[in-house]
A and B are shown apart, each in its own frame.
Chain A
Amino acid sequence: MAQVVVVTSGKGGVGKTTSSAAFATGLAQRGKKTVVIDFDVGLRNLDLIMGVERRVVFDIVNVISGEARLNQALIRDKRVDTLSILPASQTRDKDALTKEGVQKIIEELAKDFDYILCDSPAGIEKGALLALYFADQAIVVTNPEVSSVRDSDRILGVLQSRSKRAEEKREPVKEHLLVTRFDPARVERGEMLKLEDIQEILSIPLLGVIPESESVLKASNTGTPVIMDAESMAGQAYTDAVARFLGEEKPHRFIEAEKKGIFKRLFGGRAA
């Protein structure tokens, strides 16, 4: 039975697309047949982060309007063969998405894939509501920062009241907290919300903590999901989070401030 997983946050710029790309790639690397759908119609970016922007021919709106078949719009990843990407339209607006159209696409994808990841747009408008509507599980991406935590709380409320599962009064959407752009050194200095505080406020299980890392920008520059950078802390943190998502026990890493040696203390230094 295919699992529909929404990657959402309410707030923009917290790392939804980065996390969607990393999770989709990570699940596919683990042998799961995975498709990741960009729901940000009009502002598509998943294609760039996944490095497939030059291979986009048709998109989700073409499929919904019957201008293309689903197979024609799906882009097979060249690095991981169990991974596919369904891009958003860049020219249309979010009204081009319909609940019936999305449902049809998800039902069809569910026949061929184990995981259907939905990369939600920011906000709580139509695109975001449709991205979460069919979800069985939700990855709520949150930065350790007041506006992001507040918006995550809001989106959790939406998940609990306006998802299909909520409307049909079935078992609720399974929620996971993914804290991104975490900086343990700043937490230690009392400048950033602690992990326990974010968890206490949102009170959903912690799936992973992705440290603030220069490798995320480098990865997006080249269109390589950061999880493929096995050297980087962010890449390793995503790999751990994927393993936890699949039910493995993994201790959280990169949540304590690095003890700086004398050299770094003198000359400064940034996380890789």
Chain B
Amino acid sequence: MSWLDYFRGRRQEQPASATAAKERLQIVLAHERIGRTREDFLPKLQQELIAVVARYVAIDPGKVNVNLDRGGDMSTLAIEIELPAPAAMRVAANAR
């Protein structure tokens, strides 16, 4: 930084981005190292869960959302299955 920069207003301290880099790397690598030895189970998990739910409720396989948030201390797996409206369920039940 040369003295001209003082006039350009570059004096204010920025938060240290290197710390963020380290934390992000530690989290992503912790997960990737586990994944190296185990195959990706998510697609299969999703299929099996849907199959179980479908045994009890008529669901539209297109209306299923699976979200994974990998954190340092805790990861969350959110599976959202949209159930059909009561009317549609009755139709489905009568059809059986």
Contacts and interface: CB of A to CB of B under 8 A. Distances in A.
A267 B18 contact: no
Nearest to A161: B36
B42 interface: no
Contact of B25 (A149, A157, A189, A190): A149
A150 interface: yes
Contacts of A190: 14-19
Given A266-B2, A266-B3, A268-B1, A193 B21 contact: yes
B55 interface: no
A124 interface: no
Nearest to A269: B2
Given A146-B21, A150-B28, A190-B16, A267 B2 contact: yes
Interface residues of B, number: 19
B32 A153 contact: yes
Majority SS at the chain A contact face: helix
A201 B33 CA distance: 12
A157 B33 contact: yes
Contacts of A267: 2
Interface string B19-39: 101101110110011001000
Contacts of B29: 150, 153, 201
B2 A268 contact: yes
Contacts of A192: 18
B2 A150 contact: no
Contacts of B3: 265-266
A24 B90 CA distance: 76
A46 to B, nearest CB: 30
A123 to B, nearest CB: 17
Interface in A133-191: 145-146, 149-150, 153-154, 157, 161, 187, 189-191
A49 to B, nearest CB: 29
Nearest to B20: A146
Given A266-B2, A266-B3, A146 B24 contact: yes
A29 B19 CA distance: 40
A76 interface: no
Contacts of A194: 18, 22
Between A190, A266, A267, the greatest number of chain B beta carbons within 10 A of the residue's beta carbon is seen for A190
Contacts of B18: 187, 190-194, 197
Contacts of B19: 190
Nearest to B35: A157
Contact of A191 (B1, B16, B28): B16
A154 B36 CA distance: 9
A91 B35 CA distance: 37
B5 to A, nearest CB: 9
A154 B32 contact: yes
A157 B2 contact: no
A146 B32 CA distance: 14
Contacts of B16: 189-191
Given A191-B16, A266-B3, A268-B2, A201 B36 contact: no
The 7 closest A-B pairs by CB, nearest first: A190-B16, A268-B2, A197-B22, A190-B18, A157-B36, A146-B21, A153-B29
Interface of A: 145-146, 149-150, 153-154, 157, 161, 187, 189-194, 197, 201, 265-268
Interface of B: 1-3, 14-19, 21-22, 24-26, 28-29, 32-33, 36
